[in-house]
């Protein structure tokens, strides 16, 4: 697939009629974590990578994603915590992407 430079970073739903998508589903974060993540107190994932994975999953599921702030608040409500580590990067503890799950980012580009 050859993508135009101007549309490569545009979410799929951004170019469609907003009426085609339901309002933001606050449960989308819970569903994403329960279906796409492995939870374990020893796991860690970069916050940027986690949110990017979440928004890609939302696009594939035709769900309007939560804002990054709302997504983070939902993760906190689920009992996960965010830490700042080396070079100022934020990490979510207790989570990692499940390598065995349904979507593969390399196939979505």
Q: pLDDT tens across 69-99, in order?
A: 999 999 999 999 999 987 889 999 999 988 8
Indicate the number of domains in the chain.
1
For residue 103, the enclosing domain spans: 23-107
Higher-pLDDT residue of 109, 12? 12
Evaluate whether residue 10 is within a structural domain. no
What's the pLDDT band for 20 if we cut at 50, 70, 90? low
Higher-pLDDT residue of 25, 97? 97
Give the model confidence (pLDDT) of 43-58 as tens digits. Answer: 999 999 999 999 999 9
| Per-residue pLDDT at 13 | 52
Evaluate whether residue 84 is within a structural domain. yes
Evaluate whether residue 15 is within a structural domain. no
Segment 42-46 long-range contacts (CB within 8 Å, at least 24 positions apart): 43/93, 43/94, 43/95, 43/96, 44/83, 44/91, 44/92, 44/93, 44/95, 44/96, 45/91, 45/92, 45/95, 45/96, 45/97, 46/89, 46/90, 46/91
């Amino acid at each position: 697939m050859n993508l135009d430079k101007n549309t490569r970073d545009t979410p799929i739903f951004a170019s469609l009629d907003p009426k085609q998508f339901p309002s933001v589903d606050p449960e989308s974060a819970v569903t994403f974590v329960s279906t796409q993540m492995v939870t374990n107190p020893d796991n860690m994932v970069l916050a940027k990578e986690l949110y990017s994975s979440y928004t890609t999953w939302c696009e594939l599921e035709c769900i309007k994603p939560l804002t990054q702030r709302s997504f983070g608040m939902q993760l906190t409500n689920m009992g996960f915590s965010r830490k700042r580590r080396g070079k100022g990067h934020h990490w979510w503890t207790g989570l990692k992407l499940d390598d065995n799950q349904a979507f593969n980012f390399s196939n979505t580009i």
